Amino acid sequence: MKAYRLHVQGIVQAVGFRPFVYRIAHENNLRGYVKNLGDAGVEIVVEGREEDIAAFLRDLREKLPPLARIEMIRKKELPPQGFDRFYIEKSSQGGEGGDSIIPPDIAICDDCLRELFDPTDKRYMYPFIVCTNCGPRFTIIEDLPYDRINTTMREFPMCDYCESEYRDPLNRRYHAEPVCCPVCGPSYRLYTSDGEEIIGDPLKRAAELIDKGYIVAIKGIGGIHLACDATNEEAVAELRRRTHRPQKPFAIMAKDVETVEEFAFLSREELEELTSYRRPIITLRKKEPFPLPENLAPGLHTIGVMLPYAGTHYILFHWSKSKVYVMTSANYPGMPMVKDNDRAFEELKDVADYFLLHNRKILNRADDSVIRFVNGRRAVIRRSRGFVPLPIEIPFNYRGLAVGAELLNAFGVAKNGKVYPSQYIGNTSKVEVLEFMEEAIEHFKRILRVNEFDLIVADLHPSYNTTKLAMEMANELNVEFLQVQHHYAHIASVLAERKLDEMIGIAVDGVGYGTDGHTWGGEVIYLSYEDVERLAHIDYYPLPGGDLASYYPLRALMGILSKVYGVEELEGIIERCCPKAIESLRYGRVEFNVVLTQLAKEVNTGYASSTGRVLDAISVLLNVAYRRHYEGEPAMKLESFAMRGKNDLKFEVPVDGELIRVEELFAQALDVIDTASPADIAYSAHLALGRVFAETAIDRAREFGVKNVGISGGVAFNELIVKTARKIVEAAGLKFHTTHEVPRGDNGINVGQAFLGGLYLEGYLTKEDLML
């Protein structure tokens, strides 16, 4: 007779782990117990024959529930205590040192989906159907351990039927904390915009209203969506008008995979991601001719698509004639997604015609995650529902807070060699978003049992609200404060995910505050455990009006061209090539003349090395886009336009020492602008940028004796640039790296910040290395 205590850590809560342990213990004739330790993991005590315990341990590793993951098992022999059976013991509260991982929100499983449409089942057509293998997790949890009392489901006492399933270790719903049924669980109500309840089946009536062209606000798992019939061009246009989103692409939800294949191409990798338990939005390439309204994603060759992930969605499509809905976050541009019923009526009364709301609280807002496949590999654009709060491993063991960037924000909490990135926060220049961020930080501290920090890390930009917040927190908590350069953090995120010691990094981005006070965004950087160095960059070009150039990219075009042409020539070039761009300025020709004066006299002019602004400028030159209505719009539309190109015009971007002379790319484009296809020019410009960055990185890699080249930043989602760079780097015998878990844009910068924070605390890099 032998006895052992096992301490198991990993994803072992809310995934059916304890009933799984119970079953395999009985199958192997063992006695003892399994106990949830809150954030500290799960404790198992087993007694029995040595060979039965060995078989149990094999089963523990090899027969895990689908969503469970064991990261570590500590095993200690005990004297036998004479247990008479194996049982599941009541959960206990864990301490700060623990490392249990809460699973993310999980799409409805196949078993629940079958029951949902089984007329003989107690939960037939019940939208909140869940089991241990699916349903909300992160969005409803308030504290650990993950028991019903610590979730928003505590407001719904279980009926006898649900409780009998909940208490049965052999049942699929054993300790499924959100378990409920129509008798005891949450319910939907349908309301007019005035708050008057509509009698009848709320989901059936909502589906009928959507079919008639109305806009319906639908409360789901992580927040409220705005839905309309995606096949109805007028309804889509009206939703754009009401939400003040004239151009931003709308995400759509398709009834099933067969429907998706009617309007978009779907690779095997995209299909796997689309149907995964995460159910993110995937940006797929449109089929031509595109059978859905063009105003869903104006000017883009891609469309953001997701599949139903909750019973609510499946029931709506069951009743609906339409097979495709717009399903976009319910918020005005730059504001947090609405999640509460009372706020919905207050904030969305002028947007939604009807409100389909349930009475379960959403504790933690979580937008839909967004993914794109770039060069056949997964690139996470927005990491939120379905991912959060799963961690990213880093090789540094400290407690820290990395507050991320200003736009597309997510923060990260470092603990026990992991970074736990938050859900998508958004644009923290808005006060409401910053307040949401502060609330989310407190929640992460609570569920991760992090009561104090060793370090708080922020961006180098002095005006970011996140930087100011981090500085205030550091002062209040008496914690060391560290600022790190934006693009160093981008490259560090690749080192962190790919577990590398050193790399030549290509940072291709919109904007980031440089150590010299200029705006960076087109950099070649060496980063290792012992050094960080900017080796090359796009030669600075003027940005008349500074940040205005990001909204009116004609300003960036004029700034770049002014490095080659005089002001008089510049005026003639714009008049000849893109005269409508002048009209796009807020004050038209008057403003155009002011910009010319700014360039001539070098007043109110910043300087940038941004790749994003370069792409924006090409977009204007080729009359693709003149304004930025949403983040990255001109560059995204330029990429879609370039996809039509076929001929590489072999543009060459010269490199002069450390300077990448992109202005010469524009001069070459102007030489052929009257004879070549605009799409070919756009295509060739992308290839030229991919080539120059790759070749520059290869030269520096050979100089430093480095075998790894990586790419990160917002432009690292660009298919043509990344594909070109990868091909050239790998042909040179070097390894090419990007991230597949951490977002490449600013949404993932917190991981890089946390990694650099670890390098700093371990004494590898100094503050001066990271700031100067």
Q: What is the structure's pLDDT at 175?
A: 86
Alpha-carbon distance of 428 to 55, in angstroms, equals 52
Query: Minimum mean pLDDT among 93-102, 183-192, 745-754: which range?
Result: 93-102
Residue 18: how many other CB atoms lie within 10 Å? 23
Closest CA to 353 of 190, 221, 219: 190
Q: Estimate the crossing angle of helix 663-672 against helix 678-704, to 10 degrees.
A: 150
Residue 74 β-bridge partners: 7
Between these two residues, 93 and 141, which has the higher pLDDT value? 141
57 within 8 A of 64, measured Cβ to Cβ: no
38 CB-side CA count, 13 A: 17
245 within 8 A of 333, measured Cβ to Cβ: yes
Mean pLDDT of the chain: 95
pTM score > 0.85 for this model?
yes
Question: Do β-strands 400-402 and 455-459 pair in parallel, antiparallel, or remain unpaired?
Answer: parallel
571 within 8 A of 599, measured Cβ to Cβ: no
Question: For the segment 169-205, what is each residue's pLDDT rounded down to a tens digit?
Answer: 889 898 899 999 999 999 999 999 999 999 999 999 9
* pLDDT (average), residues 476-487: 97
pLDDT at 233 over 90: yes
> With DSSP H G I counted as helix, E B as strand and the rest as coil, what are the percentages for the chain, rounded to 5?
35, 20, 40
* pLDDT (average), residues 328-344: 92
pLDDT at 768 over 70: yes
* pLDDT (average), residues 558-574: 95
Q: Which amino acid is at 309?
A: Y
Length of the chain: 772
Widest CA span of the chain, in angstroms? 94
Q: What is the structure's pLDDT at 98?
A: 53
289 within 8 A of 308, measured Cβ to Cβ: no
Instruction: State the pLDDT confidence band at 69, using cuts at 50, 70 and 90.
Output: confident
Question: For the segment 486-535, what is each residue's pLDDT rounded down to a tens digit?
Answer: 999 999 999 999 999 999 999 999 999 999 999 999 999 999 999 999 99
Q: What is the structure's pLDDT at 576?
A: 96
What the block records as the tokens of 770 is 């990271």
Q: What is the structure's pLDDT at 93?
A: 57
CA 748 to chain centre: 8
Instruction: State the pLDDT confidence band at 304, using cuts at 50, 70 and 90.
Output: very high
What the block records as the tokens of 561 is 């061209």
pLDDT at 66 over 80: no
Q: What is the structure's pLDDT at 99?
A: 59
Closest CA to 141 of 385, 440, 447, 441: 447
| Direct distance between the N- and C-terminal alpha carbons of the chain, in angstroms, rounded to an integer | 64
Closest CA to 184 of 157, 203, 209, 154: 157
Question: For the segment 663-678, what is each residue's pLDDT rounded down to a tens digit?
Answer: 999 999 999 999 999 9
pLDDT at 388 over 80: yes
pLDDT at 90 over 90: no
Q: What is the structure's pLDDT at 772?
A: 80
Percent of the chain with pLDDT over 70: 99
Question: For the segment 706-717, what is each residue's pLDDT rounded down to a tens digit?
Answer: 999 999 999 999
Report the number of secondary-structure helices (H) and strands (E) in the chain.
Answer: 25, 30
pLDDT at 413 over 60: yes
Closest CA to 366 of 406, 435, 425, 325: 425
Q: What is the structure's pLDDT at 762?
A: 97
Q: 3-state SS of 25-67?
A: HHHCCCEEEEEECHHHCEEEEEEECHHHHHHHHHHHHHCCCCC
Q: What is the structure's pLDDT at 322?
A: 98
* pLDDT (average), residues 56-70: 90
Closest CA to 254 of 218, 308, 206: 308
